[in-house]
Amino acid sequence: MSEEDRPQDKPEPSGQPPLPKPRVVRRREWLPSLIWLIPIVAALVGITLVARIIMERGPEVVLTFKTAEGLEAGKTAVKYKDVQIGLVTSLRLARDRSHVRVLVQFNKDAQSFTASDSRFWVVRPRLDTSGISGLNTLLSGAYIGADAGVSQETAGEFTGLETPPTVTRDDSGKQFLLRANDVGSLDVGSPVYFRRIKVGQVAAYELDGDGRGVTLRVFINAPYDKFVGMNTRFWQASGIDAQLSASGFTLRTQSLATILLGGIAFQAPDDAMGPVAKENASFTLAQDETTAMKEPDGPSQTLLMYFNQSLRGLTPGAPVDFRGVVIGEVKSIGVEFDRAEREFRMPVLVQVYPDRLRRRAGESGTESRSTQQERLRFLAEKGLRAQLRNGNLLTGQVYVALDFFPKAPPAKIDLAKNPIELPTVPNSLDEIQSQVQEIATKLNKVPYEQIAGDLRTTLASLNKTLTAAEQTVKRINNDVTPELAAAMKDVRKTVNTAERTLADDSPLQQDMRQTLQELTRAAGSVRVLTDYLERHPESLLRGKPDDNKK
């Protein structure tokens, strides 16, 4: 400020001393005022917090679900092993209204969850085949579960799972593939048993590309995965396996859970599991334990049989046996018209496994197809025939039996045909039915009306004969009977007289007793005389000595 601009000193009023002049100090313009320190410090703190948030903030991803049930923006957390790794920031409905887009803000240390094979699902109370899960969310609310991927590629959008995965990547164990015709009663989470101990579960299943079967993925927990070898057999342990045999009734099941939810069991034949199976090794899933444990059938042979009878009770899959040993099964049945013979024939196509008979016979090795055909022709010349027999009288099931019939008509097999045709014979029941039908036909030819007329004529003649005989008997009773009665009276009198004569007190009996007594005395006298003469034979000339003395 110049001196001209400065105010002029005013004269002091009279009687007062003059005031001292104020000292003017020029202010330094470059020093800030202390009042600005507060906003500056606040700004620095804010910038620091923002920078920290930005530095600690992880990536953002979008998760898509069919519904946003249980999810809330700013509240629903994303957790991994019950540790929060992110937060749902917004929920938006897709333009086509088919799903919900959930924006998730991850923490900085959750960078690995952006791998393209990561999985996300909503954890809420659930009741399914694997049991009850998510009960802890009843109080805390639903949250999003996560399973970190292992892929090197990252993604910003993921499709959420509608159900929690059965197996996560941090579970220790191995996964194996099972091939089957259908899943039966199995489902994701169905248990897998080894010696009736739960060692794993079904992780997933899908239909094969050709639609002819399904592929199941099972997870075996460690350390039980070491019991899965290359020779291990898997079978469905669902429901109840009941068998009725000569040894009694057998009931087998893995557990109560398998009866309700289904399950899988595995074991190696004779505990010879072989080398330990590698991850994702493929196995065949059998329908039951018996099928799983049987030995390999080896090459099969297809045979064609024509039956001239009803095939009621015979179905595809019915057994083909040789004297009680099952060697194959029926593949298909049909009907065709033979124009040459002008009759219907019933073709049955069967598949047999010759190795089954060779194992029973103790033979080893495999035969060529030509050798099998030659053997089949030789057996057919010896009387090998196919016959339908009843397998169950209650259900009416029928099976195909192969056996030797020496009295069967000779037949030759044409080995050039494919499949080879094997001759057949009717079963005993059909023969009995044929015989009964023949008897019925013959009985129908009997002239029952003519026989009935002749029988009536015969009965009339017999009636006349009986009438004549009756009259004859009456005449005999009237003419002969009185004379016979008189003769019987005379005979009765004679018998009475003889009885009186032979009675004990009759005179004849007394006279006879006296006569016999006299004869006895006379016989005694003769005996005495004889004895005397034997001693004194001279008495015949001289007489008794006593008499001479007198």
Size of the chain, expressed as the number of residues it contains: 550
Mind listing the pLDDT tens digit for each residue in 59-70? 889 999 998 888
pLDDT at 353: 85
Neighbours of 297 (CB within 10 A): 15
Contact assessment for residue 428 and residue 353, using Cβ atoms and an 8 Å cutoff: no
Which DSSP category does 492 fall into? Answer: H
Rounded Cα distance between 136 and 140, Å, is 7
- Write down the pTM of the prediction: 0.52
pLDDT at 52: 73
Side chain identity at 51, as an amino acid letter? Answer: A
pLDDT at 373: 75
Side chain identity at 545, as an amino acid letter? Answer: P
pLDDT at 445: 72
pLDDT at 178: 93
Alpha helices, DSSP H, located in 136-219? 137-140
What's CA 200's distance to the chain center, in Å?
23
Compute CA distances 232 → 178, 200, 485, whole Å: 12, 15, 108
Spatial neighbors of 500 by CB under 8 A, at least 6 apart, are 506
Rounded Cα distance between 204 and 190, Å, is 10
Percent helix, strand, coil in the chain, to 5, is 35, 30, 35
For β-strands 233-236 and 282-286, DSSP reports them as parallel
Rounded Cα distance between 547 and 536, Å, is 14
Run means of pLDDT, 10 residues per run, the chain, 550 residues: 50 62 64 69 81 74 91 90 90 91 89 89 74 65 88 89 82 90 84 90 89 91 92 82 48 55 85 89 89 78 87 88 87 86 86 76 58 78 86 79 86 82 78 63 70 74 74 68 67 65 64 72 72 70 57
For β-strands 282-286 and 248-252, DSSP reports them as unpaired
Return the domain boundaries, the chain.
52-159, 173-293, 301-441, 507-542
pLDDT at 246: 39
